[in-house]
Structure 1
């Protein structure tokens, strides 16, 4: 059985599918598109061929046109909309005391899974730590790491003002997890060389998708740092063997509203003429 099939009544033999295929598994003939030898083993299952066909004539054995989300012209961002959306995004560090519904979170994570990954390997996995007590335990492990760092790496601790964070924690103020209702970790198998980049891109997609659901986020920098340096935190999260966490986001409903977008530095650009 072929890895793909063509609706001959719809196909106009324009060759777009073959041009677009990143794995070069499609060859154009006078009869239309045909798979190259070994196509099934070479295919990266990206679905570009199905998505790019204007006639909806191309179907893979695992993906048909009617299984794809249609691209609606009225929903495509204009340049102004894209700029407004991206510049208005803020890192949220103050959250309402309100849980995030599981169905909404899963919907946003589904969107985040559309982030690009190397060779479409899609290695990103998610760990959700939900609830005040559960998030508090994460913060406590991070504080334990900070106490250790304060004794063993005083210069680093001074640079990152860890002593103040510890003092505030001891007084009941959480500047580590910011009293977020949940934390989302992105992790992947160490077998994937691009795992870190894939996880970072997925987290960026998650961060950008959340405002559409009235949610906000902030990268959990102290948690990220502690994870790689404090074995007790890694043990607490119980990731599968030979898997690594590559980032975490605090997520919740924003407590405050922003009315303007601050300026940022102009891009530092250098063009190389070759």
Structure 2
């Protein structure tokens, strides 16, 4: 049930919701927008109709205009977004403390608004939200990797994990998890149209929003390979469903390092189609 409703006293019959509807299922009925019952199953549930209505006349899926944030005057300025993007750093040093649970929940809720293929919205966030749990998980993973290294069972191409184990066992250097208090894994069902891309986009949104809150992040391919490829039993240990693609892993927490300026990379590699 879409619960698509129109407030006739507010609707100006501008037709913007009709024009902007991706599956084209909204039509003017009796002078006002409506969705025929037989077309409801075609809805993308994108809420474009709610977002585009200039007079707050449309509600859908139980969401009313008053429940959401107006865009006018609430976007960051372009210079602020540029600074956030250019100033984003991969943080590999973290404080030994938890983030506030409310902040973690807020970061995940906002990041879940990231776009997905055909609006599938099936990205699943698996999060380690407590440092003590992270310490225990890291110990188990390192022990598992150590066993593989000693038994010479590391998969071809992953032999360097033996060096990571030695650094951990001999010097307490955590090359894989970087001592971060929190871990985030994005996964999606294999059957969705773009499973891997959905995960990567969601994590990118999470990273930028997290860093705007002063939370450090690092994309962690080493953790992904350890948890998914070398020690696949940890998929179940983390509660990742069997039919899900393990998109990627990200470490995050309060940084133990302060970066004070952006950097400047070489010019973008751009190819212009000449037609």
Aligned to 2:221: 221
What residue is the counterpart of 1:167 in the other structure?
A: 166
Where structure 2 has 5 or more consecutive residues not aligned to the other structure, the ranges are none
Deviation at 1:266, TM superposition (A): 1.9
SS at match of 1:28: strand
Aligned to 2:84: 85
Instruction: Please name the residue that 1:253 is paired with.
Output: 254
C-alpha deviation, 1:78, in angstroms? 2.3
- 1:45-75 Cα shifts (integer Å, max 9, x gaps): 11110111101111225222112222241x3
- In 2, distance between residues paired with 1:17 and 1:235? 44
| Alignment partner, residue 157 of structure 2 | 156
CA 1:147–1:261: 2 relative to 1, 3 Å: farther
Q: Is the 8 A contact 1:149 1:157 kept in 2?
A: no
Q: Residue in 2 aligned with 1:240?
A: 241
The total of aligned residue pairs comes to 271
**CA distance in structure 1 between the partners assigned to 2:234 and 2:55 by the alignment:** 52
Q: How far is 1:97 from its partner? A: 1.4
User: Over the residues paired in the alignment, what is the CA RMSD in angstroms?
Assistant: 2.4
Spell out the pairing of 1:1-274 with structure 2 (5 A cutoff).
3-28=3-28, 31-36=31-36, 38-73=38-73, 75-140=74-139, 142-143=141-142, 144-145=144-145, 148=148, 151=152, 156-157=157-158, 161-171=160-170, 172-229=172-229, 230-274=231-275
Residue 235 of structure 1 deviates from its aligned partner by: 3.3
Q: Distance in 2 between matches of 1:148 and 1:61?
A: 50
Listed as ranges, the gaps of 5+ residues in structure 1 are: none
Q: Give the distance between the partners of 1:3 and 1:142, measured in 2 at CA.
A: 47
- Whether the 8 Å CA contact 1:142–1:222 is kept in 2: the answer is no
CA distance in 2, matches of 1:84, 1:180: 25
TM superposition score normalised by structure 2: 0.88
Deviations for 1:69-112, whole angstroms, at most 9, x for unmatched residues? 22241x32222222111111111111111111111100111111
Q: TM-score, normalised by structure 1?
A: 0.88
Structure 2 vs 1, CA of residues 136 and 2 (structure 1 numbering), >3 Å: closer, same or farther? closer
Separation (CA, whole Å) in 2 of partners of 1:2 and 1:156: 50
Contact 2:118 2:193 in 1 (8 A): no
- Encode CA deviations 1:152-184: one digit per residue, 9 max, x unaligned: 5687246xx434322211121111111111111
Contact 1:99 1:181 in 2 (8 A): yes
| 1:197 Cα offset (Å) | 1.4
